[in-house]
Amino acid sequence: MTDDQLLRYSRHILLDDIGIEGQERIMASHALVIGAGGLGSPALLYLAAAGVGRITLVDDDTVDLTNLQRQIAHTSARVGLPKVVSAAQAMQEINPDVQVTPLQQRVDANLLDDLVPGADVVLDCSDNYTTRQAVNAACVRHARPLVAGAAIRFDAQITVVDQRVADTACYACLFPPAARFEEEACSTLGVFAPLVGVVGALQAAEALKLLVGTGQSLAGRLWMLDGRSMEWSSMRTQRDPACPVCAGCT
């Protein structure tokens, strides 16, 4: 670690739970982030600021004026650019040492099978049910920890899927893939701007804890926030023995 890096990451290094060894693990790690919008923006910025060595971000969308109310990685000057390009620019302005790989495409099972095995942690910051299910299935297949978040209107949730933690649920245990959920888009229902910041920051926090190997993750818990009252509720989750995705996993 260089003198500049010791200064940059000094507030992490001062923490007994991280220290120099933990910060070096962060710097040697690879995070895969799906989505560079409301949740992805704060998650990506915090991961870059924390010094995650390699960050791959995937999103097929471009920056729109309606995004700027909450997607803090983007600016008015970058309207029309691919979100991954805009977010990568913001990340490298914060920390030029981070290696950023922006991929402007929509994820599918084939792409996930290429990307997930090379990641130390995966963050699902997407905004649709189909993508969440695909990301979860890939993380279960390749035994990679997943930090999944979601927010709409004034409601938000976050959980961790980690097959290394015995009997904990995957995303499909909680929300069956065959269920027919009507997609709720913030373009029609709205979303409270700071709420995605709260959840995205928490996703970054969970990811960094997993990379360092400290603390207790949200594996086995679904954490939900009511933004109107700012009340958190937590639900214990267990693996569904009949889950079509993770049944039989050890």
Residue 173 lies in a domain: yes
Q: Return left, alpha or beta for 123; rule: phi > 0 is left, psi -120 to 50 is alpha, else beta.
A: beta
In a domain, 246, yes or no: no
Residue-level pLDDT, tens digit, the chain, 250 residues: 999 999 999 999 999 999 999 999 999 999 999 999 999 999 999 999 999 999 999 999 999 999 999 999 999 999 999 999 999 999 999 999 999 999 999 999 999 999 999 999 999 999 999 999 999 999 999 999 999 999 999 999 999 999 889 889 999 999 988 876 655 566 568 899 999 999 999 999 999 999 999 999 999 999 999 999 999 999 999 999 999 999 877 5
Catalytic residue selected from 186, 243, 246, 249: 186
Per the annotation, the verdict on 139 as an active-site residue is no
In a domain, 245, yes or no: no
Report the domain count for the chain: 1
Asked whether residue 243 is domain-assigned, the answer is: no
Backbone dihedral angles phi then psi of residue 65, each to the nearest 5 degrees: -55, -35
242 lies in a domain? Answer: no
pLDDT score at 185: 60
Cβ-Cβ contacts under 8 Å for 65 (sequence gap 6 or more): 76, 79
Buried (b) or exposed (e) across 93-115, using 16+ Cβ within 10 A?
eebeebebebbbeebeeebbeeb
Task: Give dist(CA 197, CA 203) in Å, integer.
Answer: 10
pLDDT at position 178: 82
| Residues 210 and 121: beta-carbon distance below 8 Å | yes
In a domain, 241, yes or no: no
For the chain, how many residues are written?
A: 250
Within a domain: 26? yes
Alpha-carbon distance of 16 to 42, in angstroms, equals 25
Q: What is the CATH number of the domain that holds 12?
A: 3.40.50.720
Domain coverage including residue 16:
3-236
Phi, psi angle pair for 71, to nearest 5°: -90, 85
Within-domain flag for 247: no
DSSP H or E run through 43: helix 40-50
